Amino acid sequence: MYKTLDTTTWKRREVFHFFRKFDDPFFNVSANVDVTAFFDFCKKQHLSFSLASLYSSSLAANAIEEFRMRLVGGEVRTYDKVHPSVTVLHDDETFSFCYLEMQSDLVSFVSVGRERIDEQLRTRHLEPGDDEHDKLHYSIMPWVSFTAVKHARRFGREESVPKLVFGKIFEENGRRKMPVSVEANHALMDGLHVGKYFELFQEQLNRAGA
């Protein structure tokens, strides 16, 4: 479900129209989150760290209205809830996309998510899902503790789904940290909103690991 935003009264209307003219209005922010306690929590509870991180990240994103906004057919839609999709790596080093749904709790999400990923590993269909706007596009890159990410881009389209990437966990001063990249359409959100996401994501990680 979604509601259509009246952009004529939107406080960001001038910024919105300014960035809509850009060929590539996306901006990227990469930063590290502390996963020390969360990593130990997942290990003790026998939970997939990757799926648990997806859930915690998606909870944070859903709490911020701008992360639920999408450009569709010239209008701005605000979805009630958005769901994570994630790249799945196959044995032959190719990948496909797996579409997950938010659940009422972390354990349920990890359980259902594991089933969906196992199914995707069997079917191996590359289904872009371009018409599904209530999504958050995730990639997991556990080989590199990156400092920045550049995504492939198709111009001439109203792309507005945020793209998030998790990188390789590394140790710093006795703490485990994970790089996270967020790419978002500047017509719909600003650095302030990405900053809020990182704050909320960190809070989710700390809360689960407490």
| pLDDT at res. 65 | 98
**DSSP conformation class of 210:** -
| pLDDT at res. 130 | 62
Say how far apart CA 42 and CA 86 lie, in whole Å. 19
**Domain limits of the chain?**
2-209
Say how far apart CA 171 and CA 15 lie, in whole Å. 39
CB contact at 8 A, 145 and 168: yes
pTM strictly above 0.85: yes
Taking domain 2-209, whether its CATH number is 3.20.20.80 is answered by no
Listed as ranges, residues in the chain with pLDDT below 50 are: none
Taking only the tens place, the pLDDT of each residue in 26-67 is 999 999 999 999 999 999 999 999 999 999 999 999 999 999
CB contact at 8 A, 161 and 25: no
